[in-house]
Amino acid sequence: MVDIEFLKEKARQLRVEIVKMLAQAGSGHTGGSLSSADIVSALYFYKMRHDPKNPQWRQRDRFVLSKGHAAPVLYAALAISGYFDKSLLTTLRKLNSPLQGHPCSRSLPGVEVSTGSLGQGLSVACGMALGLKLDGIPAKVYCLLGDGEIQEGQVWEAAMAASHYRLDNLCAIIDNNGLQIDGACHNVMNIYPIEDKFLAFGWNVFTIDGHNMEEIVRALDEADKVKEKPTMIVAKTIKGKGVSIFEGKVKYHGIAPTYEELQIALKELSDGKN
Amino acid sequence: MEKTESITEIAEIEEFYGKDMATRDAYGMILAQLGSKNPNIVVLDADLSCSTKTVLFAKQFPQRFFNMGVAEQDMIGFATGLALTGKIPFASTFAIFASGRAWEQVRQSVCYSKANVKIVATHGGITVGEDGATHQALEDIALMRVIPDMTVIVPADAYETAQCVVEVAKYQGPVYVRLGRAKVPAVMPKDYKFQIGKAYIFRLGKDVNIIATGIMVYESLRASEELNNEGIDTGVINLSTIKPLDVETILSVAKNSKLIITAEEHSVIGGLGSAVAEFLSEEYPIPIKKIGVKDCFGCSGDYKELLRFYGLTKENIINTVREFFKK
C-alpha cells in the first residue's frame, strides 16, 4: 500500500530544506524547486528503487533533473534519502561545496549527470534508458523537465528519438508551473498545447495535478504498464507551491528567500503539517 | 566485458600499415572489428553513416548501432546516457556538426559529467572539398581543445587511425578524434605504436623542426626532404594528440631548433599552432611560424586545389622556412 500521508510529509520536509538552503545560500531558484517537491517526493520516497549507500548500484532507477536550476529539490531529496548528511545542505552554492548551483555529477554522489543548461537532460535520459535495455536491466529512467525548457529544440529531437527507439522504460515529467524567468510561458513563447505535441511525437501522455499525491503516484504506476512507448506526465503545478508569498510569482523563479521570508515560509510549512 | 586487448594483436592492426586510404575508411573498418571484440561498444550516427563509415559497424551489429537522424545535439546527449550506463559509445558525424552544432552538449553533458563518450568526427578540414565552407570544419580543434577534460586527437594516416581508435576505446573519458574525407598517403612506420598524448619524432632537425598533424604530416615530410637537400637541417614531428599536449617532446624539440613550424589543416587560430605557441611562449620562447588556414572560411573546389589555394602544401612550408633563414 502506498502511504500517501508519508509522501506528503516527505514533500513538506523537502520544501523546508529547500527554503532553508536557499535562504542560507542567498541566491538560487525558489519557485521551480518548490513546484516540483511533490513529484520528487513521490519518486524518491515511493517509486524509485535506489540505494543511498550504493549510488552506483547497476539495477537502480535513474533520475535526471533536466531542469537543473531546481537543484535544491534534488539535494534535499538526496540528503533526506541518506546519500549525504543534511548539514551539507548549508554549503549550497559556496566555494568548494559539492552542491553546485546546478547539479554536478562529478562532485556529488547520487547526481546521475550534470545538468543546468536547459534542454539537454531528456537526451541523456533517453541514452540511459537505451543502455539499460541493452543490458537487460529492468530499471526505469525518470526525467524532470521545466515547462519553459521545452522551448529548447533539443527536447524535441529527444522526444522523437525516445518514441523511435520505443523507450518504455523512460518516464518524463514536465513541471508545468506555467511561468519562466521573463513571464508566463504562453507570453514568452507559447508552449501549449503540450499534450498534443507529445502525443504527435508518439508518446503516452498523462495530465495530472502535480500537487495531488494520489494522482502523482497513480500516474507513475500507470506509466509502468505502458509498453513500446515512453510516457510523459504533464504535471500542472504552482510555482512556489507551499509558501503563499512565493506562489504564482514570476519574481521567485530565480531569487532566494530573505531571512524574513524564510521565517514566513517555515511557519507556513510547519502549519501545513497540522 | 573488459576484453579489448585481442584486437591490438599485430596481425590485425598491421593490415593498415602502408595503406594509402582516407582515415575515415580506416575508422569504419577498425570499428567494425572492435565491435566483435567488445560487446560494450555501441555506435551512434546522425544520418551520415555512409560518409563517416560507421555503416560498416551498423551492418555487422545492427542491434548496437543507433541512427539518431539529423539531430547532432540529441546524439551527443544520447551517447552521454549510454556511457553513464557503462556502454562505450562512439558518436560520429561531420566535424563541423560534432564540434560546432553540438558544442554545448559536448561541454555540459559529456565533459562536465566526465562521460566516457568517443566523438569520432570525419570530414575535418578543407579536404571536404566541393561541399564548401558550410561543411569544412576549420575550427573544430580549437572548439574541442578549449573544453576541460577533453582529449583531442588528429591521426595522420590509416595505420595511426586504426591504432588510435583501439586506444581510445580502452581509454576512460571523453575523446574527440578528427578524421578526414580524402585519401591520405601512409606515413607512419611499421614499428610505430600510437599512445594518447605522445608525439612521434620522425627526425630531429638542428635548424628547423616542423610540428604537424593530420594530412600535414605528409606535406611536412616532403618539405623536410627538400630542405635537408638545400642544407637546412629539418626535422618532422607528428603531434597527433593535440590535447593533452606532449610538452616534454615539444620542449626538447624546441631546444634543438632555431625555428619551429606548425602545420595543420585548420585555422591558425586555436589549433595545433596555437597550442604549441601557447606552451612555448611561456616555457621556451623561440620563433614560430604557423602554417594553416588564415582566419577565413573555406570554399568549394577539388580538395587538392584547395590545399594549394590555402597554402597547405610542402611548397608553402619550404618557402616559409627559406624566408626565415634568408634574414
Statement to judge: residues B56 and B131 lie in one domain: yes
Contact A8, A242 (CB under 8 A): no
Contact A28, A70 (CB under 8 A): no
Residue B6: pLDDT over 80:
no
Query: How many CB atoms are located within 10 Å of the residue A261 CB?
Result: 19
Count structural domains, chain A.
1
Residue B191 in any domain: the answer is no
Statement to judge: residues B158 and B305 lie in one domain: no
Paired sense of beta strands A231-236 and B259-267, if any: unpaired
| Contact between A157 and B108 using a beta-carbon 8 Å cutoff | no
pLDDT by residue (tens digit) across B25-65?
A: 999 999 999 999 999 999 999 999 999 999 999 999 999 99
Give the domain CATH number at A99: 3.40.50.970
Statement to judge: residues B180 and B235 lie in one domain: no
Statement to judge: residues B162 and B210 lie in one domain: no
Residue B159 in any domain: the answer is yes
Query: How many CB atoms are located within 10 Å of the residue A192 CB?
Result: 12
pLDDT by residue (tens digit) across B263-293?
A: 999 999 999 999 999 999 999 999 999 999 9
| Contact between A113 and B89 using a beta-carbon 8 Å cutoff | no
H/E element, A145:
strand A141-146
Residues of A with CB under 8 A from a CB of B: 58, 104-106, 112-117, 120-132, 134-135, 137, 141, 153-154, 157-158, 160-161, 164-165
Statement to judge: residues B215 and B276 lie in one domain: yes
Q: pLDDT class for B5, splitting at 50, 70, 90?
A: very low
Please give the pLDDT value at position B4. Answer: 41
Please give the pLDDT value at position B134. Answer: 97
**Rounded mean pLDDT, B187-212:** 98
**CA B257 – CA B261 distance, rounded (Å):** 10
Q: How many residue pairs from chains A and B have C-beta atoms closer than 8 A?
A: 110
Statement to judge: residues B179 and B250 lie in one domain: no
Asked which of B184, B212, B233 is the last residue of a domain, the reply is B184
Count structural domains, chain B.
2
Q: Which of B71, B76, B112 is closest, CB to CB, to A161?
A: B71
- Closest by CA to A100, choosing from A149, A28, A39, A43, is A28
Asked which of B155, B184, B213 is the last residue of a domain, the reply is B184
Q: pLDDT class for B11, splitting at 50, 70, 90?
A: low
Q: Which three cell numbers stand for residue B175?
A: 575523446
Residue B189 in any domain: the answer is no
Please give the pLDDT value at position A273. Answer: 58
Give the domain CATH number at B257: 3.40.50.920
Statement to judge: residues B180 and B229 lie in one domain: no
Statement to judge: residues B180 and B60 lie in one domain: yes
Statement to judge: residues B54 and B142 lie in one domain: yes
| Contact between B74 and A105 using a beta-carbon 8 Å cutoff | no
| Contact between A114 and B113 using a beta-carbon 8 Å cutoff | yes
Residues of B with CB under 8 A from a CB of A: 42, 64, 66, 68-69, 71, 73-74, 76-87, 89, 104-105, 108-109, 112-115
Statement to judge: residues B128 and B228 lie in one domain: no
Residue A84 C-alpha from the chain's centroid:
19
> What residues of A are in contact with residue B97 (Cβ under 8 Å)?
none
Its domain, for residue A118, covers 4-271
Please give the pLDDT value at position B8. Answer: 45
Statement to judge: residues B148 and B241 lie in one domain: no
Its domain, for residue B279, covers 200-326
Nearest CA to CA, how far is A198 from chain B (Å)?
17
Contact A124, A109 (CB under 8 A): no
**Rounded mean pLDDT, B118-124:** 98
Residue B193 in any domain: the answer is no
Q: Which of A131, A153, A154 is closest, CB to CB, to B81?
A: A131
Q: Report the residue of B78, B111, B112 to disrupt the A interface, i.e. the one with the largest count of A CBs within 10 Å.
A: B78
Statement to judge: residues B177 and B217 lie in one domain: no
Q: Which of A104, A120, A164 is closest, CB to CB, to B77?
A: A120
Contact B293, B270 (CB under 8 A): no
Residue B190 in any domain: the answer is no
Please give the pLDDT value at position B12. Answer: 81
Give the domain CATH number at B134: 3.40.50.970
Please give the pLDDT value at position A272. Answer: 62
* Catalytic positions of B, written as ranges: 72
pLDDT by residue (tens digit) across B233-260?
A: 999 999 999 999 999 999 999 999 999 9
Residue B314 in any domain: the answer is yes
- The residue ranges of chain A whose pLDDT is under 50 are 274
Residue B128: pLDDT over 50:
yes
